[in-house]
Amino acid sequence: MGKRLVVLASGAGSNAQALLDRRDLGGDVVAVVTDVAGAGVIDRARAADVEAVCVDRGDFEDRTGWEAALTESVAARDPDLVVLAGFMRILSDAFVRRWPILNVHPSLLPAFPGAHAVRDALAHGVKVTGVTVHFVVEEVDAGPIVAQVALGIEADDTPETLHERLKTIEHRLLPESVALFCADRLRVEGRSVRILP
């Protein structure tokens, strides 16, 4: 049976779209959950006939209350895998331990973790950056790496042009990684992820 996937996203949702578009994932996106009222990803989910749920951080006084509501929303959809597709909030240890979670990040981790990876890579002057898909652990952007693709930085790149090229890679690498999970082909061994044949 296909895996049940819940996608968490905060923004435009182009990575969520890449998952919604892919017919051979080996799983179904059963819901898209966002923390931002009016996020572009909501319309994308609806257009794909997928349930869109908003647990708006602004509706809650504190992080704990918000995360309890988020956890309840995700748990109600009983996912086999949670996918962070541009989800811009840090999740508690309890949330992270509850489900397998994959995240896509616009740098070659462990270089440039955090919310400003593209800008930070440019500011550092590196010549090569890239995209990482990894399992989520308690420490931010530090979990076992499933897949990475490198990308050369051009002399005239701006954060915008570079991020656009990185996103093109993300839109391929995230669905590929999710498909490997759905096919039970990812085995985490300590810090490493072995891809089974």
Active-site positions read 105
Closer CB to ligand GRF, 37 or 75, in the complex: 37
3-state secondary structure of 66: helix
Q: How far is the CB of 144 from ligand GRF (least distance, A)?
A: 17
- For ligand GRF, the nearest residue by Cβ is 86
123 exposure class (CB count in 10 Å sphere: 0-12, 13-18, 19+): exposed
Place of tokens 């990308």: 151
The alpha carbon of 146 is separated from its chain's Cα centroid by a whole number of angstroms, namely: 12
Closer CB to ligand GRF, 15 or 180, in the complex: 15
CA distance 35 to 85: 12
Instruction: List contacts with ligand GRF (CB under 6 A).
Output: 9, 11-15, 85-86, 104-106, 167, 170
Residue 83 · residue 8 · CB < 8 Å: yes
Strand 27-34 relative to strand 3-8: parallel, antiparallel, unpaired? Answer: parallel
Closer CB to ligand GRF, 68 or 149, in the complex: 149
Q: How far is the CB of 113 from ligand GRF (least distance, A)?
A: 11
Q: How far is the CB of 60 from ligand GRF (least distance, A)?
A: 22
